[in-house]
Amino acid sequence: MKLTVLGCWAPYPRVSGACSGYLLQDKGKNLLIEAGNGVLSRLIQHIDLQELDAVIISHLHPDHIMDIYCLRHAVESANREGRMNKLLPLYLPSGPAEDFNRITSFTKAFKINIIDHLLEPREETIAGLKVSFMPALHNLPCYSMKIEGSKRFVFSGDTAYNPNLVKFTAGAEVFLCEASGLDKDAEYLKENHLTARQAGELAREAGVKELMITHFYPEYILSELQNQAEQGFGQKVLLAREGANLEF
Ligand SMILES: [Zn+2]
Ligand SMILES: [Zn+2]
């Protein structure tokens, strides 16, 4: 499996940066997870659009979906010009209605699949990979996801501390987890997001091999987030940055 970070910022990017987006590749398949602003231009640095097999969106906040609107046009053009001959499978939650209805109106680009109907213990095969979803704790409907192919990968989505995430993540080779703040921000974040230390603690409790933290507010010093995540995890933690990749 190979994970490539396309964007790591939230809820707005640093200079020349991109919001949430990750390319996961396994067995010749290409899966895009999240499509925040700036992600599409980075995706096509790595693969041709027609090589993309599916897209999964954890939730419909702007920093996770804005490039869906660009991707729609790219897919429509590719189909019209014969470079592509398929609707792109797109997995997303069913709300909030306004965003969901707009995105699902792009019927010439996407084959829509609603994650709400695919929750654990059910599994879905997406881009040849076994994918299961679990509700996250966030102020919009949001899902954590486990993706199993040649290895096991878990992505937290945006979430507050969720004890269910420990079991869900158990035994993952790589856990990509949001880390939206420092210890001092715990009170502010507690309903919707994790601190870096909490991300580390979840990873330690789940016994994952490798933790990569992401979903950074641009104003933070990333080494401070990394330090607190490492204190929680008890070992080295990777920082998601555009272009970083991890083969496992
Ligand atoms: Zn977010
Ligand atoms: Zn969010």
Q: What digits encode the pLDDT tens for the residues 100-139? A: 999 999 999 999 999 999 998 899 999 999 999 999 999 9
CB burial of residue 76 (10 Å; 0-12, 13-18, 19+):
middle
Q: Are 80 and 60 in contact, with CB atoms under 8 Å apart?
A: no
- Which ligand is closest in space to the CA of residue 138? 2
- Which ligand is closest in space to the CA of residue 64? 1
CA 134 – ligand 2 centroid, Å: 15
CA 18 – ligand 2 centroid, Å: 15
Tell me the C-alpha to C-alpha distance, in Å, between residue 135 and each of 56, 118, 206, 213: 14, 11, 17, 19
CA 36 – ligand 1 centroid, Å: 9
Cis peptide upstream of residue 11 (ω within 30 degrees of 0): yes
Domain ranges of the chain: 2-247
CA 56 – ligand 1 centroid, Å: 14
- A 10 A CB-CB count for 104 gives 14
CA 159 – ligand 2 centroid, Å: 8
Instruction: Show pLDDT as tens, one digit a residue, over the chain (248 residues).
Output: 999 999 999 999 999 999 999 999 999 999 999 999 999 999 999 999 999 999 999 999 999 999 999 999 999 999 999 999 999 999 999 999 999 999 999 999 999 999 999 998 899 999 999 999 999 999 999 999 999 999 999 999 999 999 999 999 999 999 999 999 999 999 999 999 999 999 999 999 999 999 999 999 999 999 999 999 999 999 999 999 999 999 99
- Which ligand is closest in space to the CA of residue 66? 1
Q: What's the pLDDT score for residue 29? A: 98
- Which ligand is closest in space to the CA of residue 34? 1
Tell me the C-alpha to C-alpha distance, in Å, between residue 164 and each of 13, 49, 160, 187, 205: 30, 35, 11, 21, 11
CA 11 – ligand 2 centroid, Å: 8
Phi, psi of 199, rounded to the nearest 5 degrees: -60, -45
Pairwise CA distance, residues 91 & 217, whole Å: 26
Q: Which fold has domain 2-247?
A: Metallo-beta-lactamase; Chain A (3.60.15)
For 200, the token pair is 């580390």
